[in-house]
Amino acid sequence: MADDATPTDVPCSACRGTGIVISNLGGTRSEVRCPWCEGGGRRLGPEHDAQAARRHGDGDDEPPDQAA
């Protein structure tokens, strides 16, 4: 990254700039919005917490119920 580049000038390495990642949560493959760039395809700043939405229960891709 160039010295004058901001984090949003850089493609997200987790999703390779697509905004989508593959999740195998629950054993089923599915495409979900990238939590590291929030689907924008560009890296967010270092203060961004990709796991915050799940930790607080407000993620839009809820994990399957594991109680069986």
Average of per-residue pLDDT across 43-68? 66
Residue 23 and residue 59: Cα distance in Å, rounded? Answer: 14
CA neighbor of 41 nearest in space, from 11, 65, 5, 6:
11
Residue 34 structure tokens: 């990238």
Residue 56 and residue 43: Cα distance in Å, rounded? Answer: 22
Phi, psi of 30 (to 5 degrees): -150, 155
Average of per-residue pLDDT across 16-40? 92
pLDDT of residue 45: 82
Q: Provide the pLDDT confidence category of residue 65 given band limits of 50, 70 and 90.
A: very low
pLDDT top residue among 50 and 42: 42
